[in-house]
Structure 1
């Protein structure tokens, strides 16, 4: 065992028992303290003579420093080796006890550490149990959701099969509708071509009609001028018979005849597409009559001859009316065709039918703008 020694109010060491022999001034009055004691809190300094472990060491130090003596040692001094052996064993026992105490302290620390680890493991186990309970609850919920998902998947599979069947049917119907629409487009193109031809023919007829009307106007002007000239000539040269045949009546009859001729010409142009008939030659002016003898009494005028009444005969339908009826039939056919297409594309739903009817009504309202009807020919 080693000891601390207080040298000039300062601790020195630690020194073993053999090293203490060489320390100057070491004696029974020196203050020492063991390096390790049974009581860790005991830090008191004691005199070296009070410690039984240093008795042999102090005896050797004193015998070495004291002068030689021829006196026989006392019996107590002879027992000092035995006492030293006992003290050595006691010191060894104390060292063993100290070592055991250190091991016990280390074991106690390990036990405390193990206890802390055990508490931590118990907390971890409790947490894992809670997580296990939560996981089991979630697994149960997931199992229920998996069952619901499997049922929904079965329903979706059935719905997919039905949709595939309906898709196949729709594809067939769509192919048929596309074929029919292609045919309808061809028919529509043909109808457009025919309509364009009819419009061109109508424009040509309208031009001919305008030319005929202009010719008629010019003819009426010439007739009016001729009638005025004739009235002037007759007023100057022919005074007799004014009551029976006046120049005004003659001019009216001439204008009526010219109007009938112009109407016949226009009818032949519009219905028979014949070459235009040249206007009739102007009526020569009647030769001046010799002045009649002045009668005693003016003879009574003969009764006016009335023209025989003509029965109206049925007129055949004009080309304009025939074209108008043909255009109306084409418009009705297009309406029926569009209505059929709308019904097939909408699937025959009630609301879709109503929408189709409304769209057809709008188309019918706009149809006259697309296919204008040619104006009727004026009757002669």
Structure 2
């Protein structure tokens, strides 16, 4: 049977135009799923130790079935396109904490499949420059796929920077010296403790300070420090920081005579010990914690004047630093269901500082300031040693 010589050329002629048409179709851009970034509480500028700061968090959630490794974070002034800060490697790891089970060092950079990691940011700004109105975040990361590591980068939609001014307060104590104990990067400290109440995660103590009274020789107690009455600050008068209304005053917890090892965790509602909450107005509330049992002199609904004695420093509740005053400001009257917001003190004198909280706890002498420095309308730096207006107690 004879075959037609025109069949094969005819097929070639028909297929060639189809191949050309397919090649001319535009290629769809590749889509790479990575991480979700949320900023629950936008930053408000506050001056700390003479430098403006922004404090806020990135909540990074990994919805993928594979781990994600955060490699580099760049924070950008979205309007000017300039870099505000950049972190990678160990500097980035130091600012991360995994929700749930905690891990150390470089492991913090891994956001496990289905997990969440929080990036804690405490950013000093150049005082000579303009405060950014909006921030964006450029993140470089690796997707740990079964077929191999895939590197990618994303830029989020960013967040606004609030323009309101922090509330101005008088000192909560008199005289001194007092050490302002806090560490903004301490895992498990005030700044990194998240509470989930009412269906929302918050950081109530974002700007909290533990105030501990010192003697001029840097001791925090006379004689046996296990006896709480030997601490220099125990029983010191605690003052209203502003003209305000008492929102809460609870004085129902006894104190032991000595410091002792904890026999178990306190119930969450008891952690603050005896406390007073002042309604400062404008949606701002001042919280005083760990007050001495039987010392609170106000009740809910009372109007107080700044400088008025409202209680005495004690050791009630979860008081890991020994007798001290825990003080912070939040945006709601329910202490652990409020976001911690910045505040500034009207004036205080800086006389020195500890390099770290550990230096204080081991009894080292603080490093004195080379000159006596009066500070106004700001917060003291971490572990600064200060004197407040008023007679030393």
What is the TM-score of this pair, normalised by structure 2? 0.17
Bigger strand fraction? 2
* Highest RCO, 1 vs 2 (Cα 8 Å, sep ≥ 6): 2
Bigger helix fraction? 1
Is the radius of gyration larger for structure 1 or structure 2? 1
